[in-house]
Structure 1
């Protein structure tokens, strides 16, 4: 069976995380993605680390199922190749620094004047206007500017997200925007000019704390794995130090938590724990009582009681445990992809399409497909 985006050609001048994530997901669904890289090393994300058999973990994650061509876009001959690629493209994706695409003749107005059916998608740090338009926009900087750092971490110290949240947010919105534009073009014949930026994308994900702060007068406090408006909530440890995350969402659950999990039904009568707001206000005392009650239980018994009481819970796992997570193994979520350093394990795409096998083609070496693409598009190779 054909993949949903078979026949769609994406040409991407991409680097780092956001644009490669968007184009990889298009490739997962069958699009042909030609990744345009700089001569002399290509996408700088190739050199972030060397943990995957000498390759970058970021790059292996983001660049399977693509073809790589190296072009010097300041060279007239390579610029001609680029124009020919775009002439056949359905989608052009880029995340150059602000103004760079326009200087190279690759801006949306320039390209769509000749091909109004082209879908042109740009990803930037802060958008096309405003005082930060030209500012550098590394993921951590955007996490700081959007306030994510201020609500993440412990009470004593803020922390950045452990994943590149701003980059991932922008990549996801670019992916969904391109899909919507492809649908629009299928029905109208007209392409689209799309712009996504890291700042706006991550702010969308910050919706709840922004509303909480604007209308509540204070921002949610940093509380580790706890929650600003729910208690008990977060990580607790059994007597054998098993870390378990749990959440009590309403008064019925609070009653069952006291009776079945803590074996302390008398706590239900305490007025300082009567409502969610009361428990949040007295969180420190509440947590002290919970810790004392759980100290006599091992991890297995604690999980059994939580399940019996219908209390939402999970194991707090280290990444080494996640690799062999029973949910991943039980659903056969690991598969393999080829890379320039040999075969590696990779997670299947999160979109499951009934009757369609996931595309898991190799991760390319820098410029691996330069000769074949040049030949296909009628250009001699040097």
Structure 2
């Protein structure tokens, strides 16, 4: 299988074709991850383009960096599905694809003959992945914005200072989680299709992803009736596990068990605290955390955060400085993680953030910069004309 630009794709998903009718974040993040792994992704956009193209600042050479962050390795074609000819082109892309990804409002695709039932009937081989904000029942009319999911899931009541107002996270965390969950669901459905030849519909929504993604907090209520509240940077079940003041600024220190805590107290020169009955177990430390906080910060006041980071690391104690985004990327670079990669070639290349996974036998690809709106129309149309439609008899090249 070749991608829409005519170059051979590589990677663990080489040969898989994704018809990407999604926009904004969750869907495009999912399809970018699939494209990075070698899938051919055709991004179908309406006449106005993906909303994120206009989400500025910041921008790079006039292009929204929000858009650039989630759309590399794709080919863009602009289609107005209210136009009969464009709708036929959309059908042609879908029937040559293995996966159809969309995040239209529930029922929004029925007028185009692309609702779940119609897709399953017309293309039984196809994996149809639908992303919604709040499901297809009682929440079907709610717009799928991450901030709404943060608000209704309880996330905002967990974020911020204990005596402050509810706060949103600094990134659209549930959009990202939903994109990851959709990726996992698609890979599972592709594996089953490879075994049975049958496609299926998979549905993912922001609120279910949020409820799942809150893990211990939602389980605390489901299993014990506990309603968690804001604790600033403190952890409800662990202490110390968060920022503590050193001589100049805060340093994050994490102790997940009693042995780690004893090692910390030894490194701080207060070994007696590690065996003090008030702090000997995690339950004790949680019960007496404010008293312990004072003791730890008195010891930490002897050095700067950077000095403690170096000293505690040598003792195998989990700790880190608190950095801004630029410093965080520089830190990752110093660790050899190479977080910034060039997507595309030559003067068209764009710096993007590296795919988070590595494979021992396959390569992640970065051969195409995020596309301009309708920038690949001719190559996509040529690809349609030279590739037969998929069928249930096809085996996936996985």
- TM-score between the two structures when normalised by the length of structure 2: 0.88
**Cα distance change of structure 1 residues 156 and 269 upon mapping to structure 2, 3 Å threshold:** same
The answer to whether 1:336 aligns with 2:358 is: no
Matched residue of 1:272: which SS?
coil
Q: Are the counterparts in 1 of residues 37 and 363 from structure 2 also a CA contact under 8 Å?
A: no
Aligned-CA RMSD value:
2.2
Name the CA shift for 1:342/1:375 in 2 (closer, same or farther; >3 Å).
closer
Tell whether 2:140 aligns with 1:133.
Answer: yes
2:51 matches 1:44: yes
Q: 1:151: which partner in 2? A: 158
- Pick from 322, 326, 346 the counterpart of residue 328 of structure 2: 322
Which residues in structure 2 correspond to 1:1-382 (within 5 Å)?
2-39=10-47, 41-53=48-60, 54-129=62-137, 131-157=138-164, 158-241=166-249, 243-261=250-268, 263-268=269-274, 270-327=276-333, 330-338=336-344, 342-360=348-366, 361-378=368-385
Q: State the 1:123 CA deviation.
A: 0.5
1:376 positional shift: 4.1
Which consecutive segments of 4 or more residues in structure 1 shift more than 6 A? none
- For residues 144 and 91 of structure 2, the distance between their equivalents in structure 1, rounded to whole angstroms, comes to 28
Shift of 1:58: 1.8
Preserved contact between residue 26 and residue 175 of structure 1 (Cα < 8 Å): yes
Structure 1 counterpart of 2:6: none
Deviation at 1:233, TM superposition (A): 1.6
Moved more, 348-357 or 189-198: 348-357
- Greater shift in the superposed pair: 319-328 or 338-347: 338-347
Q: Higher relative contact order at CA 8 Å, sep ≥6: structure 1 or structure 2? A: 2
Q: 1:342 to 1:264 in 2, by over 3 A?
A: same
Superposed displacement of residue 18, structure 1: 0.7
Tell me if the contact between 1:125 and 1:197 (Cα under 8 Å) persists in the aligned partners.
yes
What secondary structure, in the 3-state scheme, does the structure 2 residue paired with 1:35 have?
Answer: strand
- Contact kept in structure 1, 2:27 and 2:102, CA below 8 Å: yes
Deviation at 1:237, TM superposition (A): 2.8
Residues 340 and 365 of structure 1 are in contact (CA less than 8 Å); yes or no, is this contact kept in structure 2? no
Distance 2:336 2:68 in 1: 24
The verdict on how the C-alpha distance between 1:4 and 1:281 changes in structure 2, with shifts beyond 3 A counting, is same
Cα deviation, 1:156-177, whole Å, max 9, x if unaligned, reads: 2222111111111111111111
Number of positions where the alignment pairs a residue of Structure 1 with one of Structure 2? 375
Structure 1 residues 352, 268: closer, same or farther in 2, change over 3 A?
A: closer
Mean alpha-carbon deviation: is it higher for 53-62 or for 68-77?
53-62
Whether the 8 Å contact between 1:340 and 1:363 is mirrored in structure 2 is no
Residue segments in structure 1 that go unaligned for 5+ positions in a row: none
Question: Are the counterparts in 2 of residues 14 and 96 from structure 1 also a CA contact under 8 Å?
Answer: yes
| Cα pair 1:328 1:334 within 8 Å, conserved | no
Calculate the TM-score normalised by the size of structure 1: 0.91
CA distance in 2, matches of 1:372, 1:265: 68
Kept after mapping to 1: 8 A contact 2:146/2:172: yes
Q: Deviations over 1:23-68 (max 9, x none)?
A: 11111111111111111x3001111114231221221111001010
Is the CA contact 1:339–1:363 (under 8 Å) kept in the aligned structure 2?
no
The 2-side partners of 1:37 and 1:196 are apart by: 21
Distance, in Å, in 1 between the alignment partners of 2:196 and 2:309 is 55
User: Which segment is superposed worse, 197-206 or 322-331?
Assistant: 322-331
Q: Distance in 2 between the 1:306 and 1:281 partners?
A: 25
Can you give the 5+ residue segments of structure 2 that lack an aligned partner in the other structure?
Answer: 1-8, 387-398
